[in-house]
Amino acid sequence: MIDLKLISLIFGFIGCFFVIYSFICQLYQIYRSKNAEGTSWGLIISQIITCILLGSSAGINIYLDGILNLPFFIANVTLLFLFSIMIYLKKKYQLN
């Protein structure tokens, strides 16, 4: 019998990896080019709000239902950290 909870968790972690990887690639491009002009403040702020809200929702769901929401929680906490770095790089390269 197929365990759909396990499949859901595996797909969640794979998706978690790719969404985090996509923003790591963006950060690397900003760092390498020393230019953050292609990244708007609107994107950064809206993504931080999204990460806080979805991370909170996933955290509550983990508490209520178990670990099936763990990938969403991990992705949003990690993205919150990555967007903090993006803010730092954007401010740093705006000054130059």
Q: How far apart are CA 7 and CA 12, in angstroms?
A: 8
Question: Which strand (E) or helix (H) includes residue 6?
Answer: helix 4-33
Which candidate, 39, 13, 15, 17, places its Cα nearest to that of 26? 39
> Over the stretch 38-82, which tens digit does the pLDDT of each residue have?
889 999 999 999 999 999 999 999 999 888 899 999 999 999 999
Question: Which strand (E) or helix (H) includes residue 83?
Answer: helix 70-95
Tell me 39's DSSP state: S
Q: How far apart are CA 61 and CA 78, in angstroms?
A: 18
> Over the stretch 16-28, which tens digit does the pLDDT of each residue have?
999 999 999 999 9
